[in-house]
Amino acid sequence: MAMNGRNKNKLTYEKKSNKLQGETMKFIPVLILISQGLLFSSLNGQEVRPRARDLGLKIGVLETGPLNAITDVAGVRVGHQTIIKGSDIRTGVTVILPHEGNIFQEKVPAAISVANGFGKLTGSTQVEELGYLETPIVLTNTLSVPVACQAILDYILNLPGNEQVESVNPVVGETNDGWLNDIRALAITKQDVLAAIKAATSGQVEEGSVGAGTGTTCFDFKGGIGTASRKLPVQKGGYTVGVLVQTNFGGVLQINGIPVDKILGKKVSLSQMEGNSQVDGSCLVVVATDAPLDSRNLKRLAKRALAGLARTGSYYSNGSGDYAIAFSTAAELRLKPNRPGPAGLTMKIEVLRNEAMSALFQAAVEASEEAILNSLFKATTVQGQKGRVAYALPVEKIAAYLEKTKDE
């Protein structure tokens, strides 16, 4: 049966957020976490795994937002629909809504950057041409892009105020989860996508093997959904940049610049990786900011977010579809219906100067890198079709390594 990961695990997630991300936990030394068995505690039968910062990993120099999530950007909402059926279906949907209003009637500035274009990012050409996003962003698996587009059409056409709408540009990103998931079964329905939209909320974002990350793999470990954010200093504008990723790609994993083979004692060579089909995959990066940016500078911001993949060890393989979608939630920049007469032919906007972009670039790189790590740290081991198993990153070994080398 289809399971809504957000609703089914709501109580569990709230509890584990208090336990692992609350003020009392984040200052407990890693060694104590291990010795007391709190690193992998269990609540209601659900494994509780830490985020990167719960182990003392600090990526970059900028401060995070309160939740260290894309939802630190005011108004942004995220929803999941996790679909697990029998032993073969391991897939789902994740949606990102830029604001709480009618997104079609209040379009937001947006842009897309491509590192390697082996993917099916629907709606990208209109965003590139016009510079605006007019629908929620939906992430799913490769063969479910058409049904996700249909669901977006239903959602937009049925919003109050859209009764005369006759053209809609759905934006749907995908990665291929066919190693764990029987992707040919076409398990995702229009109702699943609409349920994810309906479930979208602000606040904590569930990460790991959930939603569009249910069946994904990353660096030969279980991948999934991850998120992070950065808050600029007041003197740099005080703006927030939030990132959400769907990780399903390969490379040689680095954790805060340290090769994973050094941490785990497991040699990972390039020749071994190229013999493994899982090196080819995809990563979708969604970047939200409240900074007043037009589409030109949002494209520059999206480019920097893709650098987060490289910092974790990706080299954008031949078969990988690596995309970043960036949008601004600044209310004064939203595109609203034309006013009648000559006054409706122009619009006045104020945007950040180019000279103000560097701090935002840094925020995007740091948040993207940390979001990818969070997708790995939070993902649980998943067994899927044909008995295949994607094993969770052995976080206990990482914690032990960090404790051992903390004074070096």
Q: In this predicted structure, what is the pLDDT of residue 222?
A: 96
Is residue 382, in this structure, part of any structural domain at all? Answer: yes
Cβ–Cβ < 8 Å for 246, 276: no
Q: Across the strands, what pairs with 189?
A: none
Is residue 343, in this structure, part of any structural domain at all? Answer: no
Instruction: Find the helix or strand (DSSP H, E) in which 158 lies.
Output: none
Q: In this predicted structure, what is the pLDDT of residue 84?
A: 98
Catalytic residue among 113, 290, 322, 328: 322
Structurally, the chain folds into a number of domains equal to 1
Q: Is 17 a catalytic residue?
A: no
**Residue 202 belongs to domain with CATH number:** 3.60.70.12
Six-digit token pair at 140? Answer: 């799913």
Burial of 37 (0-12, 13-18, 19+ CB in 10 A): exposed
**What is the Cα 316 distance to its own chain's centre?**
17
Catalytic residue among 209, 314, 320, 375: 320
Give the residue among 178, 166, 172, 133 at the shortest CA–CA distance from 152: 172
Q: In this predicted structure, what is the pLDDT of residue 345?
A: 81
Range of the domain at 198: 2-335+352-404
Is residue 340, in this structure, part of any structural domain at all? Answer: no
pTM of the model: 0.88
Is residue 199, in this structure, part of any structural domain at all? Answer: yes
Is residue 164, in this structure, part of any structural domain at all? Answer: yes
Q: Is 54 a catalytic residue?
A: no
Is residue 185, in this structure, part of any structural domain at all? Answer: yes
Is residue 342, in this structure, part of any structural domain at all? Answer: no
Q: Is 35 a catalytic residue?
A: no
Q: In this predicted structure, what is the pLDDT of residue 279?
A: 56
Name 144's Cβ contacts closer than 8 Å, sequence gap at least 6. 91, 93, 174, 186, 188
Is residue 38, in this structure, part of any structural domain at all? Answer: yes
Give the residue among 134, 81, 127, 78 at the shortest CA–CA distance from 106: 134
Q: Say how far apart CA 53 and CA 58 lie, in whole Å.
A: 6
Catalytic residue among 113, 124, 209, 282: 282
Q: Say how far apart CA 139 and CA 332 lie, in whole Å.
A: 27
| Residue 31, number of CB atoms within 10 A of its CB | 14
Burial of 84 (0-12, 13-18, 19+ CB in 10 A): buried
Q: In this predicted structure, what is the pLDDT of residue 134?
A: 98
Q: In this predicted structure, what is the pLDDT of residue 281?
A: 82
What are the mean pLDDT values of the chain's consecutive 10-residue runs (408 residues total)?
35 33 36 45 65 95 98 98 98 98 98 95 97 98 98 98 97 97 98 98 97 96 97 98 96 90 72 50 96 98 97 89 97 87 81 97 98 98 96 94 83
